[in-house]
Structure 1
Amino acid sequence: MSNTFASTETAAAPASSVVIDLNQLYRDHHRHLLRFVQRYVRNSEDAEDVVQNTFVEAARCAQRFAGLSKPSTWLFGIALNLARNHERRKYASLCDTVDDAFIEQIADIGADPAYLIENREVAGKVLALLESLPPKVRATFEAVLEGDATYEQAAAQLQIPVGTVRSRVSRVRTAVRAQFGSMDQQRHSM
């Protein structure tokens, strides 16, 4: 560290302020200050930069030191603020700002807790209704809806006529509507 800090600070210091010997502060506290900063800044090169900036800032503000604390305490305060600012900037740069329109595109409208609870309750009631149906009707309905089969594929799989498949599926849909009404009507009435 050069003597320019000491001469600059004493020349710029007003008569009422305390004179700080930055060269002595550097000699006495550089290593300890570096270890202190490394607690906050994990990268050793960044910690060195923060320590260097600490002494630059101390030289810049030395004339404003009022002597209300020890010079080392003042110096460590500067280092702490610079280390925190460094980390904030580092982590802020990792996060890209996202446009609100983009967030709305990826927002899950089904994530509303009330909506999820309502859907679970309705699903439980529909499941109970399906379990109460005769086994042949339930098997037909499950083949069409759960198996993603067409009426023709379900008829072939269950070895029954296509008309029977349509009739059974229609019976289940009618029972669900009678029990719960149309879900669209329920949502619009809320």
Structure 2
Amino acid sequence: MTQTVSAAGESALADATNPGIDIVKLYTTHRTHLLRFVQRYVGNREDAEDVVQNTFIEVSKCAHRFSGLSKPSTWLFGIALNLARNQVRRNAADRYDAVDDDFMDQIADAYADPALLFEYRQIAEKVGAMLDQLPVRIRSTFEAVLDGDATYEEAAEQLHIPIGTVRSRVSRVRAAVRSEYGAASDGNGVSHGFR
């Protein structure tokens, strides 16, 4: 014997499995909190307002599918979180514009040869060790001019020494470095040595 369910019985069965959602109550109760939640996730208010609006549109479309296994607010925030993630992905994709290969060739660094950069790094480490072995008065003069970006006059004033002494000390350090390591070249005849 087959049982048939009347239309009224189907409606009662549907109501038992789908408790229904009061969208207006969800909106009035959770909109402000939902907006703050989404704004923390997406980073700006305009996108957050769009996500919240889309969330309630989605809720109204899918209210019939709410199973009642969670609280309506949990379901609402889950939808908002998915839409916020999508918005963040879209925002990230919009940040990067496609460029053609010619553009990349224009900004290529001619001095970005890894072997050459490694060599320069090694020389810099050796020069740093050499400077550490210099007497303090010579090293401080050299550092004031090179590290401090001071002119010879400014270094002389800072260190309370004559400008000729500054020139002499810097010249001695440069000569010592040049004699030890020479001038580095980039292979194009351009010298990047110590002047």
TM-score, normalisation: structure 2: 0.47
Q: Which has the higher helix share?
A: 1
Structure of greater Rg: 1
Q: TM-score, normalised by structure 1?
A: 0.48
